[in-house]
Structure 1
Amino acid sequence: MSLNVLSRELILTKKDVLISRIYKVAVLSALAGAAPVPGLDIAVDTLVLLEEAIFYRSQFGLDEDSLRNHAKLHRMSLDDFIERVGLESSMVEFSKTGIIMYLSKIGVTSAASYATKNILKYTLPVVGNIISGTAAYTSATYCLNSILDMMVNDALKINDYRPKE
């Protein structure tokens, strides 16, 4: 039996601190979304969401090295540990493509809303930019909250994991 570095209380405290970051990070997304530069919003969103997801992963000890240490403590392979504990975050590839695929999976990158947002941005510049910025902010907060919830749940699963004898 090993002592986990993150207690339930510490995990939940970290979650609260990271929630406060979400709104600050979403402002970057909103500014890029409001800018009348084609493609800037997607580039900024992908980079910001990826960097924040990687930061969350490290804060909760869900990076590969930490998971490998947990697996070693439980005398199992990394893949077995991930499967037995049921770690959802390990199924996400932490790359630009992986983040885009994850966002598609949770239903954020709807082509219709993207098209509408961009049509408005370029046909009604001022109003469209405000709408695009607001949509970008909303999408970023939704995505980051979703990613954070997944990471918190995985950290709690590791914290609560007891191998069957």
Structure 2
Amino acid sequence: MEGPNDSCPKELAGVEGDLKNNDTAAAAAKIEQYLKEQNSIPLNIAITGESGSGKSTFINAFRGICDEEEGAAPTSVTETTSKVTPYLHPNYPNVTLWDLPGIDTTKFPAKKYLKIVEFEKFDDFIIISDPRFRENDVKLAQEIQRMKKKFYFVRSKIDNDINGAHRKTDFSEERTLTKIREDCVQRLRELGIESPQVFLVSSFDLQMYDFSLLQETLERELPSNKRDTLLFVMPNISPEIINKKKTALQSKIKYYPLGSAAGAAVPVPGLSVAVDVALLAGAVAHFGHAFGVDIPSLRRLSARTDGSHTDLCAVIISPLAASEISKEFLMRVFTQLGCTAALIVAEEASQWIPIVGIPVAMGLSFTTTSKLLNLILNQLAEDAQSVFERALGLKKSH
């Protein structure tokens, strides 16, 4: 098992030295700053396409909100975006989807488009079209390519195509999707894109068609420090993505106990427990947001699935899901965990043992916090799976 003095990322290189020098304040500050920075890495995704292509609905679905919700991108087909408009993710304000105006208009000519919209601040460009990609879409893609940025073609409203084709006597969903994809690729090649990759997406059914492939492609091609940022804001469209979130969160768990161990190094009654609870409160909130089992996320999900908040909460087991996370609430939950409470008591008592007391307290604090975080993570991941299955069932029943 890892301990508080195990190797750290370069951002935490000085923590071990701080602890050896009994400078716990400096160690705790470094750890807190590192965790804060990890949870606030900026990600900016530009969404562009002609009016009526489904840009706004895609932006809202990506953020997990309804078209009618406050803060949603307006979905009126008669409205044309005339300026660069940011839409922040409701749980992670460091992630922004930008609704861009159409290219090659009087205000946004093709040759100057990327400079006008300040292309350098965007990590990716998603070009959305329905029913077919046009010359302006290709002009933009070529300009993006010239600037050495990533772009992706999304053919939207695939559910409408499937519903329309379903009326045919020889209907085959697989054949319909293949034909749409081939037509899109052929059209883009004719307009000058050599090897276009097209993603077929329904913003009303993200778990269907190519949205998961789009997510995987975006994640793979982003810089490594931004991949988890993208992952945590992704809607739970499959059990696989929930498991990926769990794995990513698990890889960072060890850094929270480092802060707990730093608090245990100071022999002040109650300080270590206070540090533990403060760290855990931040971690639990982050886990809940990432898994979408916090109160606002569950309410948004119930609105998108035509279910109710009560329906979704009925399948939740962890007391930390669908709850307002506070230090006081966490302490009440921890008292229900007998073995954990015993470790906390032992940690507090061992601080006062001469010579060896502080190292023992630090080790116990690290162990206590690790056990709690792994327990909480496992429970919230299970709840996320249950909520996903329940939401999917509610959507199918409507």
Q: If the TM-score is normalised by the length of the shorter chain, which range does it land in? A: 0.7 to 0.9
Q: 1:71 maps to which residue? A: 302
Matches within 5 A, 1:95-114: 95-107=326-338, 108-110=340-342, 113-114=343-344
Preserved contact between residue 242 and residue 384 of structure 2 (Cα < 8 Å): yes
Q: 1:148 maps to which residue? A: 377
Matches within 5 A, 1:22-33: 22-33=253-264
**Is 1:45 matched up with 2:299?**
no
The one-letter code matched in structure 2 to 1:143 is: L
**Cα RMSD between the aligned structures?**
2.1
Q: Determine the C-alpha separation between the residues in 2 that align with 1:135 and 1:3.
A: 44
Structure 1 residue 92: Cα displacement = 4.8
Q: Determine the C-alpha separation between the residues in 1 that align with 2:351 and 2:205.
A: 54
Structure 1 unaligned regions, length at least 5:
none
Q: Which has the higher contact order (CA 8 A, sep 6+)?
A: 1
Q: 1:117 maps to which residue? A: 347
Q: With structure 1 as the length reference, what TM-score do the two structures score?
A: 0.85
Q: 2:115 maps to which residue? A: none
User: Greater share of helix residues, 1 or 2?
Assistant: 1
The one-letter code matched in structure 2 to 1:150 is: Q
Q: From the superposition, tell whether residues 39 and 104 of structure 1 become closer, same or farther in structure 2 (CA, over 3 Å).
A: same
Q: Determine the C-alpha separation between the residues in 2 that align with 1:31 and 1:158.
A: 36
Preserved contact between residue 295 and residue 322 of structure 2 (Cα < 8 Å): no
Q: Per the alignment, in what secondary structure is the counterpart of residue 372 of structure 2?
A: helix
Preserved contact between residue 29 and residue 136 of structure 1 (Cα < 8 Å): yes
Q: 2:325 maps to which residue? A: 94
The alignment of Structure 1 onto Structure 2 pairs a total of residues equal to 161
Structure 1 residue 102: Cα displacement = 1.4
Q: 2:60 maps to which residue? A: none
Structure 2 unaligned regions, length at least 5:
1-203, 208-234
Preserved contact between residue 92 and residue 102 of structure 1 (Cα < 8 Å): no
Q: Please identify the structure whose Cα radius of gyration is greater.
A: 2
Q: Determine the C-alpha separation between the residues in 1 that align with 2:300 and 2:349.
A: 49
Q: From the superposition, tell whether residues 134 and 52 of structure 1 become closer, same or farther in structure 2 (CA, over 3 Å).
A: same
Q: Percent identity?
A: 27
Instruction: Kindly provide the CA deviation profile for residues 57-105 of structure 1, in whole angstroms up to 9, marking residues without a partner as x.
Output: 001111212101222233333123211x335343654111111111111
